[in-house]
Amino acid sequence: MIYFPTLIPREEKAQYLYLVLFCIDYTYLFSLITGGFIFLICKNIYKAIGDIVNAYRVKLKRRILSNVPWTITAMSNDISFFKSIILMVSEVEEAFGILVLLLYATIMCVFFNTVSVMLQQSHTFLKAPATIIYNIGNFLTATITVIQMSHYGSHIASQIQCLKREMVVCSDKFIRSSPPKSTMDVFHYLFEIVMKSQIEVTGYGLFVINYSLILAIVSTMITYSVLILQLDNKK
């Protein structure tokens, strides 16, 4: 049942029905397109960041295997490149952090609405096949979005951890080569930058996008579902 304001005469409500349905469909489609656009942008950017970090790690690994001497010039280039990665992630956070936060807020609203409707027992309209299909579609879309975002967010963190392991291997081999003190100082600076770096993507600094976020969302939805069932049983 669609509610019409009392200002609209009863005999004219039928004329506004199609307009109301159009507004509902337009709002839903516009929200879906906007959310999908934000999701595609963030997914591709996160994937690109992870690939860049992986390329940097592969470069260091090849240097280890090829026995190329570690020079100050080469390590200075490595430091500059790694700093550019950190700056790139910071710029991405500043540009898209608020969009990611709004995207996750929309996803949580979809989850809450879907759970509320699916657990509601008092209205037969909410149990109609069309309503069930609509809610399942929304739930699957939100779930896939969360999994994809968490995957690419965790991909960045995993590549950083792999890079740190490569730096440990590099440091062992570098020390064994007995380099001069000036070269040792530059390598130590590079090692400190990589090991102390915390490159991660967040939702405007409020939460980190990784697989652990999925567990937090699931636990929240389970708690919400239990509360809905308890309140519904008390009626």
CA-wise closest residue to 46 among 81, 96, 3: 96
Residue 111, pLDDT score: 92
- Output the pLDDT for position 91: 92
Pick the more confident residue, 129 or 73: 73
pLDDT of residue 235: 59
pLDDT digits (tens, 9 = 90+) for 145-189: 999 999 999 999 999 999 999 888 888 888 887 888 888 888 888
Give the model's pLDDT for residue 151. Answer: 95
HSE at residue 230, side-chain half, CA atoms within 13 A, is 6
Mean pLDDT for the stretch of residues 33-56: 93
Which residue carries 């027992």 as its tokens?
121
- The answer to whether 72 and 182 have CB atoms below 8 angstroms apart is yes
- pLDDT of 232 > 80? The answer is no
Rg of the chain (C-alpha set): 26
pLDDT at 124 over 60: no
pLDDT-based confidence at residue 67 (cuts at 50, 70, 90): confident
Looking at residues 5-16, what average pLDDT do you find? Answer: 67
Predicted local confidence at residue 86, as pLDDT: 92
Instruction: State the DSSP code for 95.
Output: H
Rounded-to-integer distance, Cα 102 and Cα 76, Å = 39
pLDDT, average across residues 31-44: 92
7, pLDDT greater than 70? no
| Statement: residue 3 has pLDDT above 60 | no
Q: Which helix (H) or strand (E) holds 19?
A: helix 13-66
179 contacts: CB under 8 Å, gap ≥ 6 = 70, 187
Band (pLDDT 50/70/90 cuts) for residue 118 is: confident
Question: Model's pTM, two decimal places?
Answer: 0.84
Rounded to an integer, the average pLDDT of 110-120 is: 84
Cα angle vertex 59, ends 57, 60, to 5°? 70
Across 1-15, 100-114, 215-229, least confident range: 1-15
Confidence of residue 52 (pLDDT cuts 50, 70, 90): very high
Q: What is the mean pLDDT of residues 101-112?
A: 93
The per-residue pLDDT for 153 is: 94
224-234 mean pLDDT = 81
Evaluate if residue 125 carries a pLDDT over 70.
no
Is residue 231 within 8 A of residue 119, CB to CB? The reply is no
What are the counts of helices (DSSP H) followed by strands (DSSP E) for the chain?
Answer: 5, 0
Rounded mean pLDDT of 209-233?
89
- CA 163 to centroid of chain Cα atoms: 21
Q: Is pLDDT at 231 greater than 90 in this prediction?
A: no
- Structure tokens of 40? 């595609």
